[in-house]
Structures are given as structure tokens and as C-alpha cells.
Amino acid sequence: MSTKVIVVNGPNLGRLGVREPDVYGHQDLETLRRDCTEWGRELGLEVEVRQTDDEAEIIGWMHRAVDEQTPVVMNPAAFTHYSYGLSDAAHMVTDAGLPLMEVHISNPASRDAFRRYSVISPVATGTITGMGFYGYRLALESVAHLLND
């Protein structure tokens, strides 16, 4: 039986392919969904890719991940930089002993000053930045590694 993993994407990531292609690339969320599903299959993970612009919804997904014992790969997008509510919810995931890998398509540390701090990194299992969509593959590999450890 394969282990379920949710790949959660925050605000404006539904606009991938259209939004700042120089920064985020030319591929859309559907492509990311297909890629993550395929990478998961290779790793024995059943991947479900989600996206929301709604802070309450993404927090609810963290609560459900705890209740259902589901590991998380998360690109919190702009919530990364200011959402203490999401930070607390992400903390509950790692507190429950579940992997939570933070991913950013770009390298926020090399961009605007407000992107240099993440409220998610201190509570995440690990963080991968600046590797484009490939970062999600690295995050899924990390989850598979952690689950096999």
C-alpha cells in the first residue's frame, strides 16, 4: 500500500505559467500536479496536489493532516512571510511526528527583503528553495527517506 502525501500550494500559485514566468517558470499548476503525481508513484507515495488562496483552508488542511497522519510538502507562497496561523498549524504537523517539507520554486532569500524571513522554516522538517519544480521532487524524496528511516 502506498503512503498518502499532500502537496499543498498557497496563494497565487494557481497562476503558475502566467505569473512572473522569469521567476516561477513557464509551466502551470496542472504540470506540477502531473509531475508530483509521477514522482510520487516512483517513490511509492500517493500524492495529492492542492492549491488555495485561502489561509483558513490551508490551515484546515494541516489540521486534517494531523488527524489522518498525512505527511506534507508545502509551498506556503506569500503566507511564508507573515502567517503565524499557518506557522502554528504547520508546527502541529511536525509535533505529531509527521514530515513537513517546505518548498519554494524561487530562492526567496535572493529577492525582496520581505521574503527573507519564513515563519514556516523554524517549524518545518526541512526547506528546499531555488530549484524550480524540481524542488518538489527533492521534497518528496525527502519525505520518502524520512518515512523509511
Cell of 15: 497562476
> Which of 74, 105, 139, 143 touches ligand DQA (CB under 6 A)?
105
CB of residue 12 to ligand DQA, shortest distance in Å: 5
124: left (phi over 0), alpha (psi -120 to 50) or beta: beta
Check if 63 is active-site.
Answer: no
75 contacts ligand DQA (rule: CB under 6 A): yes
| The residue type at 128 | I
Is 62 in contact with 71 (CB distance < 8 Å)? no
**Closest listed residue to residue 57, CA positions, set 82, 79, 40, 36:** 79
* Contact pattern from residue 30 through residue 69 relative to ligand DQA, giving x for each residue in contact according to CB under 6 A and a dash for the rest: ----------------------------------------
Q: CA 119 to CA 84: how far, in whole Å?
A: 7
106 lies in the binding site for ligand DQA (CB under 6 A): yes
Span interacting with ligand DQA, options 28-36, 44-52, 70-78, 89-97, rule CB under 6 A:
70-78
Residue 77 in the binding site for ligand DQA (CB under 6 A)? yes
d(C-alpha 147, C-alpha 92), whole Å: 18
* Range in contact with ligand DQA (rule: CB under 6 A) among 43-51, 57-65, 104-112, 138-146: 104-112
Name residue, grid cell 520554486. Answer: 105
24 is catalytic: yes
* Known binding-site residue numbers for substrate: 75, 81, 88, 105-106, 115
Does 78 bind ligand DQA (CB under 6 A)? Our answer is yes
Q: Name the one residue in this structure whose C-alpha cell is 509527521.
A: 98
**Active-site residues: which are they?**
24, 104
